[in-house]
Amino acid sequence: MMDYQLTLPTLLERARRWFPEQQIVSNLPEGIHRYTFRDFYGRVCRLMNVLRGLGVRPGDRVATFAWNHFRHMELYYAVPALGAVLHTLNIRLAPQQLEYIVNNAEDTTIFADADLAPQLVPLLGRIPSVQSFVIMGAADPAATGLAPVLDYETLMADAAEDAEFPEIGEREACMLCYTSGTTGNPKGVLYSHRSQVLQCLIGGMTDNFQFTEGDVMLAIAPMFHVNGWGIPFLCAMLGARPVLPGATLDSATLVRLIREEGVTFTNGVPTIWTGVLDYLREHGGDLGRLERVLIGGAPVPLELIDAYRRDYGVALRQAWGMTETAPPGRPLVYTRSMQALPEAEKLAFLRKSATVGPCEEIKVVDELGVELPWDDTAMGELLVRGVGMAAGYFNNPEASQAFADGWLHTGDVVSVDPHGNYRIRDRAKDLIKSGGEWISSVALENAIMSCAGVAEAAVVARPDHRWDERPVAFVVLRGDAAPTEPEDIIAHIAPEFAKWQLPGPEDIRFVEALPKTSVGKFDKKVLRTQV
């Protein structure tokens, strides 16, 4: 059998040869930017020469700190094509988390958008592996305050367009993403070329996301979040048109892009689509050619699914996934047996989080590790394994114990029906999912209890129409030094967290005592009944 290596440059070459006139569309502050896959290929070659000039070698980690746009997509291909590893930094993390991630990854260069660069300034002098910053979309890179600093387009203009592509093995690393750091420091997940190409092949199956060359894909899911859910790679493989929204993600802009660009498929967390629905109901109009929306990051209310199906003819489909599993698993697909069910029963299936996809396996176990039946009732921890999934964490052998006996122990509690559709029933370790991102209740509790005058604190989630969940802190005070206003506590913990991770003043609740279990732990079940 011929030994053909599954690598990302093969997708790049396919896009150049088979779909040279297909457009890549970016929504930038200065307006819509368009160019073709032929143009894209030439700029990727230039960028490879830029990277070589910066001293990037095979195996080096090159970081991005950027929105979804064409320059970020160029890095998606140029860095792995050299045999280096693209490390997408989460722009929503606090400086302390970013510092840990950059140092753990030992990034050599950071490519950053000009408007995001100020978030990196606090890291100066604390990330010794970084040799330079390259600023994208800046009139004056020096004005960012970063150093040493270079300008992306200046480097590109001076680079040759012909590039040499080295031989790369399919099992070599190509991408690095970190978890959100919900329990302790964020953990790195290293992906191989093979895993990403196989994910594209699986995602491109008809009985899956139903992608074709005729699709126009609005990539709302951030490119720093699980490789943009694979959309930058899928578009090149299939020849579909990517539409990249940039930094502007308000409902009005998204609806405009959907209509004007003829978008047929898009994605994102539920809060995005709650906002879009509210906007449509207030301003009227339709969603043009839009057919399908893939939603991940949090469970989707059945009412939201039904509203899009009924009022706009758009199918919202959930898909479960983690950073450790690469792009999310297969969304629910109606099988022939399910098609015969009454409409109400078919709609009820849409509550499920995902379906077991090709080349992956799941099982559900109880606390003793005993496998549970797929009867839609038994609930236990979800274990997964498959072709696109990690085998451990980067530079973190202790945390890699979550990968035991060849299975990833997700910590999510699920039930599975006889069709292989599973539903997330609970959030492990009391995590809070807000806007598709995790917030650690334990981290918030520890920070609040470090405030003078605070005796105890327990944090739970409350439902939120826009963000799905928000943290609520129950706080027991002690002594005369106790803070008197919620704002005092927020000010105390703010340096440790990103702004979106903080509870609002209305969600700091002073109480006389906290309920406890028989072993002295905070009884969060009781607290949840109060929110």
Same domain, 403 and 444: no
Contacts of 85 (CB under 8 A, 6+ apart): 59, 60, 61, 62, 79, 173, 174, 175, 176, 190
Q: How far is it between the farthest Cα atoms of the chain? A: 77
Same domain, 12 and 109: yes
Average confidence (pLDDT) over 32-42: 98
Amino acid 318 reads: Q
pLDDT single digits (tens) 426-475: 666 677 888 888 787 777 887 888 888 887 888 999 999 888 899 999 99
Per-residue pLDDT, 183: 55
Q: Given 145, 174, 193, which residue is the final one in a domain?
A: 193
**CATH code for the domain of 514:** 3.30.300.30
Residue 342 belongs to a domain: yes
**What would the DSSP string read from start to end of 54-81?**
TT--TT-EEEEE--BSHHHHHHHHHHHH
**CATH code for the domain of 352:** 2.30.38.10
pLDDT single digits (tens) 306-320: 889 999 999 998 888
Same domain, 458 and 391: no
Q: Given 364, 399, 428, which residue is the final one in a domain?
A: 428
Q: In whole angstroms, give the CA distance from residue 373 to residue 113.
A: 49
Residue 349 belongs to a domain: yes
Per-residue pLDDT, 329: 58
Q: In whole angstroms, give the CA distance from residue 435 to residue 269.
A: 7
Residue 123 belongs to a domain: yes
**CATH code for the domain of 28:** 3.40.50.12780
Sign of the dihedral through C-alpha 268, 272, 273, 279: negative
pLDDT single digits (tens) 353-364: 788 878 889 999
Task: Tell me which long-range contacts 214-217 makes (C-beta under 8 A, separation of at least 24).
Answer: 214/240, 214/264, 215/240, 215/241, 215/264, 215/265, 216/240, 216/241, 216/243, 216/261, 216/262, 216/263, 216/264, 216/265, 216/289, 217/241, 217/242, 217/243, 217/263, 217/264, 217/265, 217/266
Nearest CA to 173 out of 147, 200, 195, 199 is that of: 195
Task: Quote the mean pLDDT of the chain.
Answer: 90
Tell me the pLDDT band of 518, cut-offs 50, 70 and 90.
very low
6 pLDDT exceeds 90? yes
Same domain, 171 and 32: yes
Residue 148, preceding bond cis, omega within 30 degrees?
A: yes
Please give the residue range of the domain that contains residue 56: 8-193
Top-confidence residue, 430 or 118: 118
Same domain, 336 and 386: yes
Phi, psi of 224 (to 5 degrees): -90, 0
Top-confidence residue, 391 or 330: 391
Same domain, 346 and 464: no
Same domain, 396 and 444: no
The total number of residues shown for the chain amounts to: 531
Same domain, 419 and 437: no
How many Cβ atoms sit within 10 Å of the Cβ of residue 513? Answer: 9
Residue 273 belongs to a domain: no
Residue 21 belongs to a domain: yes
Whole-structure pTM value: 0.84
Q: Given 428, 444, 478, which residue is the final one in a domain?
A: 428
Same domain, 71 and 85: yes
Burial class (CB in 10 A: 0-12, 13-18, 19+), 174: buried
Per-residue pLDDT, 462: 93
Per-residue pLDDT, 519: 39
Number of domains forming the structure of the chain: 3
343 pLDDT exceeds 90? no
Per-residue pLDDT, 98: 95
Per-residue pLDDT, 391: 84
Percent of the chain with pLDDT over 90: 59
Same domain, 32 and 67: yes
Tell me the pLDDT band of 521, cut-offs 50, 70 and 90.
low
| Two structure tokens written together for 223 | 């490119």
505 pLDDT exceeds 80? yes
Per-residue pLDDT, 29: 94
Residues assigned a catalytic role: 179, 324, 433, 438
Quickly tell me which residue has 């592996």 as its tokens.
Answer: 129
Same domain, 434 and 422: no
SS3 content of the chain, % helix, strand, coil (to 5): 35, 25, 40
Select the highest-mean-pLDDT range: 48-57, 86-95, 208-217, 386-395: 48-57
pLDDT single digits (tens) 262-307: 999 999 988 889 889 989 999 999 999 999 999 887 667 777 888 8
Phi, psi of 487 (to 5 degrees): -60, -30
Instruction: Give the DSSP letter of residue 39.
Output: H
Same domain, 446 and 366: no
